């Protein structure tokens, strides 16, 4: 209850005090954000650059621009030649709708096939949906071959690494690789399980956008067991990325 000595009655003073507290709190939050934002932006940029480097062996630099539906990247080699397009998009149907699956899709300069994808942000269910980022366990080449692998990193004599889908392994241990629907037998190169991309993501390498769908939907991608929603979310983001690249590249 207010007294005669109070300058303001309680019904005015309490809202004023709360207002001052809110203003001070807001100012502090804004100050912290302004201090930390540059570091956050640099971290995000490094993550994007690392993803593009891992997906495009000839990577030297990239430029980006925001377009309707995401961010478009033009990847160039050391001589400035355009070698790939990339797009960062987010899924519309992630299990965690508050923090959707966000990934980079990279396609060749003809926009015909996907060179690879890289999930840069996701907070799906641990142990289930988060397996979209799970990498294969390290193993020997002999063990890798015996396990009938689904993907391989081909180490060329030049030192370049290419990710391919393994179609079959012949009796003399020659691995036949899939490359955009065609078959290629290893010749003059070495297959290694070093630096393999996450197993689920590796399935997209070499596919056309039309085939980059789950098998239940007529595509070539196996869904993660117990994580169909997250698997579908990745496909959704990849399809959005491929469409963005094709439309923004004028093809």
- Average of per-residue pLDDT across 2-24: 75
Most confident of 21-25, 34-38, 107-111: 107-111
Task: Name the residue range of residue 146's domain.
Answer: 136-196
The answer to whether residue 175 is domain-embedded is yes
Least confident span in 55-69, 78-92, 139-153 = 139-153
Of the pLDDT bands very low, low, confident and very high (cuts 50, 70, 90), residue 171 is low
Quickly state the pLDDT bin for 139 (edges 50, 70, 90): very low
Q: Average pLDDT for residues 34-55, to the nearest whole number?
A: 78
Higher pLDDT, 239 or 186: 239
Give a yes or no: residue 143 inside a domain.
Answer: yes
55-69, 181-195, 209-223: lowest mean pLDDT where? 181-195
Residue 159 lies in a domain: yes
pTM for the complete prediction?
Answer: 0.65
Residue at 76 is within a domain: no
| Tokens 């979310």 belong to residue | 233
CATH number of domain containing 180 = 2.30.30
* 185 domain-assigned: yes
pLDDT of amino acid 12: 78
Total domains, the chain: 1
Q: Three-class SS string for the chain?
A: CCCCCCCCCHHHHHHHHHHHHHHHHHHHHHHHHHHHHHHHHHHHHHHHHHHHHHHCCCCCEEEEEEECCEEEEEEECCCCCEEEEEEEEECCCCCCCCCCCEEEEEECCCCCCEEEEEEEECCCCCCCHHHHHCCCCCCCHHHHHHCCCCEEEEECCCCCEEEEEEEEECCCCCEEEEECCEEEECCCCEEECCCCCCHHHHCCCCCCCCCCCEHHHCCCECCCCCCHHHHHHHHHHHHHHHHHHHHHCCC
Answer yes or no: is 167 within a domain: yes
- pLDDT at 130 (0 to 100): 84
Is residue 54 in some structural domain?
Answer: no
> For the residues 29-35, what does the mean pLDDT come to?
79
| Greater model confidence, 6 or 244 | 244
- Most confident of the following: 115-119, 134-138, 235-239, 245-249: 235-239
Distance from chain centroid for Cα 80: 24
**Banded pLDDT at 204 (limits 50, 70, 90):** very high
Banded pLDDT at 239 (limits 50, 70, 90): very high
109 in a domain, yes or no? no
């Amino acid at each position: 209850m207010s007294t005669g000595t109070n300058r303001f009655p309680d019904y005015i003073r309490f809202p004023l005090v709360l207002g001052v507290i809110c203003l001070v709190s807001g100012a502090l939050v804004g100050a912290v954000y302004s201090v930390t934002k540059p570091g956050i932006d640099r971290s995000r940029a490094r993550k994007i650059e690392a993803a593009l480097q891992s997906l495009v062996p000839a990577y030297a630099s990239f430029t980006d621009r925001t377009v309707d539906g995401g961010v478009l990247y033009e990847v160039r080699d050391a001589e400035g030649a355009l070698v790939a397009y990339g797009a960062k998009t987010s899924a519309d149907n992630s299990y965690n709708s508050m923090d959707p699956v966000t990934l980079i899709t990279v396609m060749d300069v003809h926009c015909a096939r996907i060179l690879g994808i890289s999930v840069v942000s996701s907070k799906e269910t641990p142990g289930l949906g988060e397996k979209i980022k799970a990498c294969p366990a390290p193993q020997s080449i002999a063990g890798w071959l015996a396990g009938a692998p689904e993907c391989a990193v081909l180490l060329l004599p030049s030192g370049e690494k290419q990710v391919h889908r393994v179609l079959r392994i012949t009796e003399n241990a020659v691995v036949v690789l899939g490359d955009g629907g065609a078959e290629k037998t290893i010749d003059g190169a070495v297959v290694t399980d070093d630096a393999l991309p996450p197993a689920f993501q590796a399935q997209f390498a070499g596919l056309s956008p039309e085939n980059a769908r789950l098998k239940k939907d007529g595509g070539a991608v196996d869904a993660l067991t117990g994580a169909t929603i997250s698997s579908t979310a990745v496909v959704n983001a990849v399809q959005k990325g491929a469409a963005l690249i094709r439309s923004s590249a004028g093809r």
